[in-house]
């Protein structure tokens, strides 16, 4: 598992208060992890801060699973 994946999952666990084993790469934030749209906004803010990337709104809208977040960050972090 990549270092990005570990850090992303840690943030998801902390923000959504879900069990770590539920945070698989295929898990959907809304359907599987119980996030609402405001949670997604907060997660994106937390990812931006953790990884020093900027995630514009149109990209953020496409992030629906844990894997989407990891891939976007890996592709865009400095």
Q: Which residues bind other proteins (CB under 8 A)?
A: 38, 41-42, 45
Q: How far is the CB of 37 from other proteins (least distance, A)?
A: 9
Q: How far is the CB of 36 from other proteins (least distance, A)?
A: 8
The answer to whether residue 39 is catalytic is: no
Nearer to other proteins, 31 or 36 (CB): 36
Measured on CA atoms in the order 48, 41, 59, 24, is the torsion positive or negative?
positive
State the catalytic residues: 36
């Amino acid at each position: 598992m990549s270092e990005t994946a570990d850090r992303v999952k840690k943030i998801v666990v902390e923000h959504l208060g879900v069990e770590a084993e539920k945070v698989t790469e295929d898990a959907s934030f809304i359907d599987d992890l119980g996030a609402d749209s405001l949670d997604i906004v907060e997660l994106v803010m937390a990812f931006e801060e953790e990884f020093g990337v900027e995630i514009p709104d149109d990209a953020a809208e496409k992030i629906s699973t844990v894997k989407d977040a990891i891939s976007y960050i890996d592709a865009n972090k400095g």
